[in-house]
Structure 1
Amino acid sequence: MRRADRLFLIIHALRGRRTALPARGLADTLGVSQRTVYRDVADLQRSGVPIEGEAGIGYVLRKGADIPPLMFQPDELEALVVGTRFVQAFAGERLGRAADAALLKINAVLPAGLRERSERSRVFAPDFGQHAALKAHIDDIHQAIALRRVIALGYADERGAASTREIQPLCLAFWGGSWTLGAWCRLRQDFRNFRLDRIRECVMLEISFLENEKSGFAAYMAAMEAH
């Protein structure tokens, strides 16, 4: 990791904290020794960054401190632009609008040279023709995942056989051509994956669920890795 990136991550870790962050926690996060953290913090303090605290106690940013943002490298900026284009094309209306707004904000604070570099990027993500219902499903499912609400799902399998399920949505995954919903099926009492283009109906119910060791996201990921 570049030292400049490490210094930025230290500031980012301290930003908004109300309690002191021990050097040990910073060292674990950055994968460096505590001695390196002490040296980096001292360098930041000498350069005018308002970090308060000391070794053995922890560090905080002084309340009200205004830290200027890190300027992007050209390749980092292009990665953001390309990522935003993919979100705009494939991630539903709500995240697409948010990505568009984020890119406008980034471009608004860039110097002219970097702004031109972002506009010249030739890596695109053309919409492969997702219909409006599919994008609406992405938005609805994304909201249900965030709220931990059960979904009533009308689904057709690869043979066209229809079924109705109540599921606990856990994650959305894009496989470069289709979206998949990872979920806990309350009927089968097991994990299931559903292709979004086969969903016929998607209704968020007034039923909340809690993730646990059996049916939560961590267990889902472990099950997928095992397969």
Structure 2
Amino acid sequence: MSRSARLLDLVQILRRHRRPVSGRTLADAIGVSIRTLYRDIATLQGQGAPIEGEAGLGYVLKPGFMLPPLMFTDEEIEAIVLGSRWVAKQPDKRLAAAAADALAKIAAVLPDDLRDDLDATTLLVGPRSESIEAIDLGIVRQAIRDERKLGFLYRDAGGAASKRLVWPFALAFFDKVRVMVAWCETRQDFRHFRADRMSGLTTTGIRYPRRRQAMLKEWRAGLDAPGRNGGKDASG
């Protein structure tokens, strides 16, 4: 176990106790000597953890303390790096840049041993998808956050075009395509729109009348309903 992971475990143990816990009990719980335990307590206090007490009396963590995101397990680091690397290779340029920036910020504040693990992870992401969208997915993501209607021209698999006005509430990222999930005013039903078949995207600034979480819940329920697929593709 790395020292950073051990410090995190120590904080988690202290959180479970409202009354002072002896140093010996804490040392046994994390599998270290009492001397190491005292050094760990001092380290956490130096990082701002409100741990009160002293040797012989026990230690208690004041309520409300939140650790900064500096300590991760090996698998958490792998998940962070793999996820960030995958997003960084997506065609959504702003989201890709944000993923790279977020990973750099995390690396900048990690302890040295965890930063080394971050740099050395061997989980890799394959080549970037060749699919290219003619729209800015950042606009779609912003409309979903703001719960605003979007207008665009959509071409189905056969090439037939139709104008749509939709209430977007989710964006799915697949290896080769990105799919917007929305309520379509034209079809009066949930529809799935491939981003590479969308063009002429326009923001209306008009708030749609339902909450996106409510629509997401209803759409998900439709995935499991007999005879439904949670919203047809947009060919209909």
TM-score, normalised to structure 2, is 0.66
Q: Is the 8 A contact 1:170 1:217 kept in 2?
A: yes
Report the CA distance between 1:171 and its aligned residue: 0.2
Percent sequence identity over matched residues? 34
Q: Residues 209, 41 of structure 1: CA spacing in aligned structure 2 closer, same or farther, 3 A cutoff?
A: farther
Distance 2:182 2:202 in 1: 14
Closer/same/farther in 2, CA of residues 148 and 66 from structure 1, 3 Å limit: closer
Return the letter of the residue paired with 1:74: D
Q: Structure 1: which 5+ residue stretches go unaligned? A: 12-36, 52-58
| TM-superposed deviation, 1:132 | 6.0
Q: Distance in 2 between matches of 1:42 and 1:70?
A: 26
**Counterpart of 1:77?**
77
**Superposed CA offset, 1:122-156 (max 9, x none):** 3124211243635x2x1111011011110012100
Paired residues, number: 186
Contact residue 167 and residue 184 of structure 1 kept, 8 A: yes
Q: Are the aligned partners of 1:85 and 1:125 in contact in 2 as well (CA < 8 Å)?
A: no
Contact 1:211 1:217 in 2 (8 A): no
Q: Evaluate the alpha carbon distance shift between residue 108 and residue 43 of structure 1 in structure 2; reply closer, same or farther with a 3 A threshold.
A: farther
Structure 2 regions of 5+ residues with no counterpart?
Answer: 1-7, 24-40, 52-61, 230-236
Query: What is aligned with 2:143?
Result: 144
RMSD: 3.4
Change beyond 3 A, Cα 1:161–1:42:
farther
Q: Which runs of 4+ in 1 moved over 3 A?
A: 4-8, 39-44, 46-51, 65-70
Change (3 A) 1:140 1:115: same
State the one-letter code of the partner of 1:225. Answer: D
User: Could you say if the C-alpha distance between residues 173 and 7 of structure 1 is closer, same or farther in structure 2, counting changes exceeding 3 Å?
Assistant: farther
Distance in 1 (CA, whole Å) between partners of 2:140 and 2:205 is 14
Deviation at 1:200, TM superposition (A): 2.0
SS at match of 2:89: helix
2:103 aligned with 1:103, yes or no? yes
Cα offset, 1:173, TM superposition: 0.7
When residues 163 and 116 of structure 1 are mapped into structure 2, their CA distance, relative to the original with a 3 A threshold, is: same
Q: Which amino acid aligns with 1:128?
A: S
Q: Is the 8 A contact 2:134 2:198 kept in 1?
A: no
Cα 1:124–1:7 change in 2 (3 A) is same
TM score, norm. by length of structure 1: 0.68
The alignment partner of 1:181 has SS state of strand
Cα displacement (A) at 1:183: 0.4
Code of the residue aligned with 1:119 in structure 2: it is D
Instruction: State the match for 1:194 in structure 2.
Output: 193
Contact preservation (8 Å) 2:148, 2:204: yes
Between 166-175 and 91-100, the greater mean CA deviation after superposition: 91-100
Write the distance in 2 (CA, Å) between the matches of 1:106 and 1:184.
37
Instruction: Report whether the alignment pairs 1:153 with 2:152.
Output: yes
Q: Contact 1:180–1:195 at 8 Å: present in 2 too?
A: yes
Which segment drifts farther, 103-112 or 188-197? 103-112
Secondary structure of the structure 2 residue equivalent to 1:169 = strand
